[in-house]
A = this chain, B = another copy of it.
Amino acid sequence: MDKSFIKTYLQGIQNQICQALEVTDGLGRFKEDLWQREGGGGGRTRVIEHGAIIERGCVNFSEVFGKTPEKVLKDLRIEEDVNFYATGVSIVMHPNNPMVPIIHMNVRYFEMSNGIYWFGGGIDLTPHYIDKEDACYFHQQLKKVCDRHHSSYYLTFKKWADNYFFLKHREETRGVGGIFFDRLYETDTISKEQRFEFVKDVAHTFTPIYTHFMKKNSVLPYGEKEKSWQLFRRSRYIEFNLIWDIGTRFGLETNGRAESILMSMPPLAKWAYDYQPADAREQETLALLKKEIDWVNG
């Protein structure tokens, strides 16, 4: 199982997910942009805008390689001059209806010419209004996937997501979390193939989960008030991505393709000074933006 096998598999995942989202949306169509990276590699950016359910979203594939950025070598304390290779699929969906949650999914593979490699990824849900049953359903699906691979995965990666998808400056989580993992390499008991099986399983769980929410929640009624709250929640999403998200910052600081990286931005967002919600559902959502909530068992 070499990098070209993994890359081809991930491109297939991109295709499957785009197709399923188009079918469920019913109106929106993905627009594809192929791009090349100066130092080596490139990507397939796929954007959907003005859909029936999805207001703006992206399913991006990329495969980049070349001289390892100084920053990475420094972080890994590597002093040799090694090359790197990275491939992944990255998704963010911003729906029209505030009752449908924002979702993010990413799977990635990284290797260096000195033999170091790992898998990483994650999936997390950001409801504008937190519905405990939806959050429970979401975490149950993730737990099911994790449990198929290792009994420790769900709790470990759920905790990692709680800590990762966290707005430190506001002391609030981005949403109801999910799972996050990085630097998964082979061990005595877990092979590279098994790691990849897990990553594939995570990627394949995206479509059933999100199409479930698209179908179920896009028919729920909403008005100006809910739309306004959605725009406030989106501004928090922006704050997380631009201030704290390591992938976004790394991409922008190392001359990644800005339009592809910033596809995670919502179409419209709103800020107000010190907004204090009077609405009970808004208050409840804020109260639930905490780490360490056991969503599976309620």
Contacts and interface: CB of A to CB of B under 8 A. Distances in A.
A74 interface: no
A6 interface: no
Nearest to A249: B243
Interface in A162-208: 168-170
A205 to B, nearest CB: 26
A265 B262 CA distance: 17
A272 B238 contact: no
Interface residues of A, number: 35
Tell me if A's interface is mostly helix, strand, loop or mixed: mixed
A33 B274 contact: yes
Given A249-B243, A252-B169, A267 B272 contact: yes
Copies in the complex: 2
Interface string A243-286: 10000010011011011011101111111111000000000000
B270 A267 contact: yes
A68 interface: no
A242 interface: yes
A291 interface: no
A168 B265 CA distance: 18
A296 interface: no
Contacts of A273: 31, 47, 49, 56, 58, 259, 263
Closest 5 CB pairs of A and B: A242-B242, A265-B271, A169-B252, A169-B258, A47-B273
